[in-house]
Amino acid sequence: MIPRSFIQQLVGLCEIEDVVSSYVTIRRAGRNPKGLCPFHSDKTPSFVLYPDNQSFYCCGCGAGGDVISFIMRAENLDYVEAVRFLAKRVGLEVPDEGEDSSGQLKARILEINRETARFFYQCLKSPAGKPGMEYLRDKRGLSMKTITSYGLGYAPDSWDSLLRHLHGKGFRDEEMAAACVVAKGRNGRYYDQFRNRVMFPIIDLRGNVIAFGGRVLDDSKPKYLNSPDTPVFKKSRNLFSLNFAKNAADGRLILAEGYMDVIAIHAAGFPNVVATLGTSLTEEQARLMSKYAKEILIAYDSDGAGQTATHRAINLLSDAGLNTKVIRMEGAKDPDEYLKKFGPTRFRLLLDSASNVIEHELEGLKAQIQLDTAEGRIDYLKRAIHILADIKNPLEREVFAGIVAKEAGVMPEAVLSQASALMKKRFSARERQEWREIEQGKANLRDRINPEKAQNLKEAMAEEGILAYLIQHPDQIQPTGERLEPADFVTGFGKRVLESVFQLARDGDEVNITALGTLLTPQETGGLARILARYAGQRMTKEMLDDYIDILRAHKDKLQPGEIREIEPDAIEEYRRRLRQKK
């Protein structure tokens, strides 16, 4: 709905290298800068910028597109939101051409969430909210300042109090259901999603209420009820209290397990704390934290489930390039209890003495094994070697090998040798797996954007060559359109992109990845970015275009299996005659 001319003006002011460098450390590598991809766990720079056509592409995860596509991924925004984000960055006013239905629904959901948060907060302060206030003030020891800062509330023990309140504000049942603050029963009637619960609004980095978490005050199940994914909320991509923590991180974030732990830690004077939203830590959340910190202190519960979650989080955070330490809380099951027992000063000492993740893993291993027996020491060595083999820094690996050797009563050289052998074994296994994928054609032919490519590889490659040529030589679009039409393409993806190229040319618009992005899906724009990356720096000639067109014509002239079965005998000779003439 935003004029294409404005989009082109905006992208012209937003150099992709300038924008991306706000998120990624870019290093010069010839004409095309490179960096570690922010969208997957990248070990070597596979994220490449192409200033010539203002695009990016990651050969590791396949993410690609223009500067708008990048902001959509980096900030978890839709297309229009990303345009507004960039426009604000450069001081432009986005023309008001009306919003699409998706944008209108998102705006309504955010309004509903804001009004719902106000309703729960007012209920908490009213006589009806006495059970919630007693829980927060008396049982959990929260001050009114903390309650107000987090906008905590109470959902009354009623089936329709919120429903009636939102009706009075002019919201429709279907809109409330889309926001997941009400649900539809089997009888077709709507009812409140949250009842008799202390409510925790979840606020994004722009100050919008995007979801809710609710804790019961009795023994009913589930103990915590969290909003499911909605058009404005993806639980795997958000963190509770990041709106506070991002300004106080100072290079370090505390990762807690739940809402109350976060609030207790924050209230004790440590605002750089976040938590996941009712799920285990995800790759997206780990990468999100890496934008605001270099070091993560894990403060999960000390029970078995907490330790399992800690082990999983360590691997994800390490893959995101974060230095991770683990807080060991002796004498308390969680941070909230520790702060109540020992106070903020002791908790700060706990943070400063947090153990290295390898130390934590080895200490946990020692706690499970009896080292005073030969069998126990052998078991300890076997399992410790798997931990050492994960250490990439040789010097760090040598130090911990010495610690393990001392514990088990063996020479450090023997431990290092075993760890090195395991690393080589893992490397060989990865190489074999990669080779198997190449042999099976998976590595080259796996293409979710263009699934027909695997069955029509030659023709699909010709289509990609034609598209790259036309974007490089927009003056040749019109004459090429006289020789070729989208129906001549074999794959659906190729047809959609070619039709978009022709449409832009007919409209008199510039043909580039940004303009095409207004007509294609974000996934298709990413597929186009891959094509442009493949041909980047390659001068494409008219002779190449002719060859590509010949490939598609030969395919079109070739009888397909279904046609062969149905062709009449007297038509076979005519078909063969035409083939001889072409040759």
* Residue 114, pLDDT score: 97
Q: What distance in Å separates the CA atoms of residue 421 and residue 105, rounded to the nearest whole number?
A: 57
Residue 55 pLDDT greater than 60, yes or no: yes
- Average pLDDT of the chain is 87
pLDDT tens-place string over residues 159-178: 999 999 999 999 999 999 99
Q: Which CATH architecture has domain 101-233?
A: Alpha-Beta Complex (3.90)
* Residue 502, pLDDT score: 95
pLDDT tens-place string over residues 275-313: 998 778 888 898 889 888 999 999 988 776 777 788 778
Q: How many Cβ atoms from other residues are within 10 Å of residue 345's Cβ?
A: 10
Residues in contact with 272: Cβ distance below 8 Å, sequence separation at least 6, in sequence order: 245, 248, 249, 250, 252, 253, 254, 293
* Residue 252, pLDDT score: 92
Residues of the chain above pLDDT 70, percent? 91
* Class of the domain covering 4-90: alpha beta
Q: Which CATH architecture has domain 451-582?
A: Orthogonal Bundle (1.10)
pLDDT tens-place string over residues 68-126: 999 998 888 888 889 999 999 989 888 865 555 667 888 899 999 999 999 999 999 99
Q: What distance in Å separates the CA atoms of residue 499 and residue 505, rounded to the nearest whole number?
A: 10
* Residue 353, pLDDT score: 87
If you search the block for the tokens 């103990």, which residue do you land on? Answer: 223
Q: How many Cβ atoms from other residues are within 10 Å of residue 3's Cβ?
A: 12
Residue 249 pLDDT greater than 80, yes or no: no
Assess contact for 123 and 129: CB atoms under 8 A: yes
Strand boundaries in 176-326, DSSP class E: 182-184, 190-192, 197-203, 209-216, 224-226, 251-256, 273-275, 293-299, 323-326
Q: What angle do CA 114, 94, 233 make, to 5 degrees?
A: 35
DSSP bridge partners of 198: 154, 215
Residue 445 pLDDT greater than 70, yes or no: no
Residue 546 burial (C-beta neighbours within 10 Å; 0-12, 13-18, 19+): exposed
Residue 74 burial (C-beta neighbours within 10 Å; 0-12, 13-18, 19+): buried
Plot region of 558 (φ>0 → left; ψ -120 to 50 → alpha; else → beta): beta
Residues of the chain above pLDDT 90, percent? 52
Distances (CA, A) of 288 to 46, 262, 483, 530: 19, 17, 48, 25
The domain segmentation of the chain, as residue ranges, is 4-90, 101-233, 234-355, 369-439, 451-582
Residues in contact with 29: Cβ distance below 8 Å, sequence separation at least 6, in sequence order: 45
Domain 234-355 CATH assignment equals 3.40.1360.10: yes
* Residue 442, pLDDT score: 47
For residue 75, what are its two tokens? 């900030």
* Residue 360, pLDDT score: 79
Mean pLDDT of 127-151: 95
Least confident of 216-225, 242-251, 556-565: 556-565
pLDDT tens-place string over residues 547-580: 999 999 888 766 554 544 555 556 555 555 655 5
DSSP bridge partners of 50: 55
pLDDT tens-place string over residues 342-388: 999 999 999 988 888 788 778 878 888 888 888 999 999 999 998 88
pLDDT interval class at 250 (50, 70, 90):
confident
Q: How many Cβ atoms from other residues are within 10 Å of residue 138's Cβ?
A: 9
* Residue 206, pLDDT score: 86
If you search the block for the tokens 């760890």, which residue do you land on? Answer: 419
Q: How many Cβ atoms from other residues are within 10 Å of residue 96's Cβ?
A: 8
Nearest CA among 335, 167, 332, 173 for reference residue 264 = 335
Residues in contact with 471: Cβ distance below 8 Å, sequence separation at least 6, in sequence order: 53, 501, 511, 512, 513, 532
Mean pLDDT of 28-49: 85
Residue 114 burial (C-beta neighbours within 10 Å; 0-12, 13-18, 19+): middle
| Identity of residue 216 | V
Query: What backbone phi and psi angles, to 5 degrees, belong to 460?
Result: -65, -40
Residue 493 pLDDT greater than 90, yes or no: yes
b/e 304-328 (16+ beta carbons within 10 angstroms → b): eebeebbbebbebbbebebebbbbe
* Residue 41, pLDDT score: 73
* Residue 5, pLDDT score: 87
Q: What distance in Å separates the CA atoms of residue 254 and residue 261, rounded to the nearest whole number?
A: 11
